[in-house]
Structure 1
């Protein structure tokens, strides 16, 4: 699974783009995490959600809200924004070009360091049971963070494009050339956000088994209109 191949790191010019564009662009790219002992973990990004700020009622920066917690959303494109949900789980976001906008990484397909990911997930499991199915290791934003040891303490406010940063970064996939189809659907867990509740701002690679939740209706409509270039 090419753990030793020197893949091209994504730079500022690659990801300094509007939020929705970034959410789509990141699909098929590789998230890399280097642990303190030098271990390398890698996974293909297969599902994203975008949070646009401004009028987006589901965004932490809705209506220009700005706090010490969501400050990374206003930092330069490519900055990590790690927040805690339900008082116990972390989620990883990446800021985009617009102030207050960011992309949530919802799921990755594990590539490298899988045994470490399994061990990390098992430690968080109440029964200490190890997850053997690779597709279930990182099929959700919090699972992803647990598997890759991503917390607010160790991965927040990091510039992913800074070549001096050796903790977490993004890479091009050496084989994928965006020859996949993308499903556009509504975000997960968004309630009481008016029209923003159902806006198609979640994106995932069609047919990938590591996606957190499939939208079978959207997939059916997509396949029925497979010539629609908006989904390519």
Structure 2
């Protein structure tokens, strides 16, 4: 890895799920593919708080599927959805706690990302469509359960995080998570974070944005 890039160490990940979810905003996710850096700035996350969180895969305890959520903070939890797509999480402090990466702003290797995202040639594409969703970002960075589940992001040679720019609280929306309506009272918990007005975010909460801007944050 180029010495000019600052890889995040274990201490960065040793936070509660909610705090890590916020701290990840602005950091850089890097995937090394055939010697080529594919990288994106994290602009949207969701925290899942383990054994108390009815929306978490780990709510009912440790299983083979969610084992990574019980491992050391900084462990990748990659799981399959709908049989063909994947989503990536990062474990935090706390049994069964992890943060879902929902969207990235691509910064390096954009053409390579496009080839992974759209295997059939697509000469014209919108960069914002590459990683504006948890499955899309896994496609664009070629992240799969087989290749990366339970890998340690502190030491892995092909997937890691680097220090990005600081995103002030005035530019971060905190709101409820997406598509977890069956999680009862946990459906409305404000455990999603995203960069205000960022075009790469998957889903905007315009009401939360209005309240935030009205409060003068």
TM-score, normalised via structure 2 length:
0.95
Please point out which of 71, 75, 81 is paired with 1:75: 71
Q: Which runs of 5+ in 1 are unaligned?
A: 228-232
- Report how far residue 185 of structure 1 moved: 1.2
The alignment partner of 1:69 has SS state of: coil
2:166 counterpart of 1:169: no
- Give the match for residue 152 of structure 2: 159
1:123-161 Cα deviation digits (max 9, x unpaired): 1x7xx5456111111000000000000001111111111
Give 1:50 shift: 0.6
Change over 3 Å in CA distance of 1:186–1:154 after alignment to 2? same
- Equivalent position to 1:215, from 181, 205, 211: 205
Aligned position for 1:47: 44
| 1:182 aligned partner | 172
Q: 1:216 to 1:130 in 2, by over 3 A?
A: farther
Runs of 4+ in structure 1 deviating by more than 4 angstroms, as ranges, are: none
Inter-partner Cα distance in structure 2 for 1:120 and 1:214 = 26
| 3-state SS, counterpart of residue 58 of structure 1 | coil
Match of 1:21 in 2: 19
Q: For structure 2, which runs of at least 5 residues remain unmatched after alignment?
A: none
CA distance in 2, matches of 1:139, 1:4: 27
Structure 1 position 39, deviation (Å):
1.1
Q: Deviations over 1:185-205 (max 9, x none)?
A: 111111211111121111101
CA contact (8 A) 1:82 1:155 kept: yes
What secondary structure does 1:9 align onto? Answer: coil
Equivalent residue pairs, number: 216
Summarize the Cα distance change of 1:151–1:131 in structure 2 as closer, same or farther, 3 Å threshold: farther
Within 2, Cα distance between the matches of 1:182 and 1:97? Answer: 22
Query: Is 2:2 the counterpart of 1:9?
Result: no
1:199 to 189, 210, 214: 189
Deviations 1:35-70 (A, max 9, x none): 1x211101000000010011211000114x211111
Q: Secondary structure at the match of 1:204?
A: strand
For the Cα contact (< 8 Å) 1:121–1:131, is it kept in 2? Answer: no
Decide which moves more: 40-49 or 128-137. Answer: 128-137
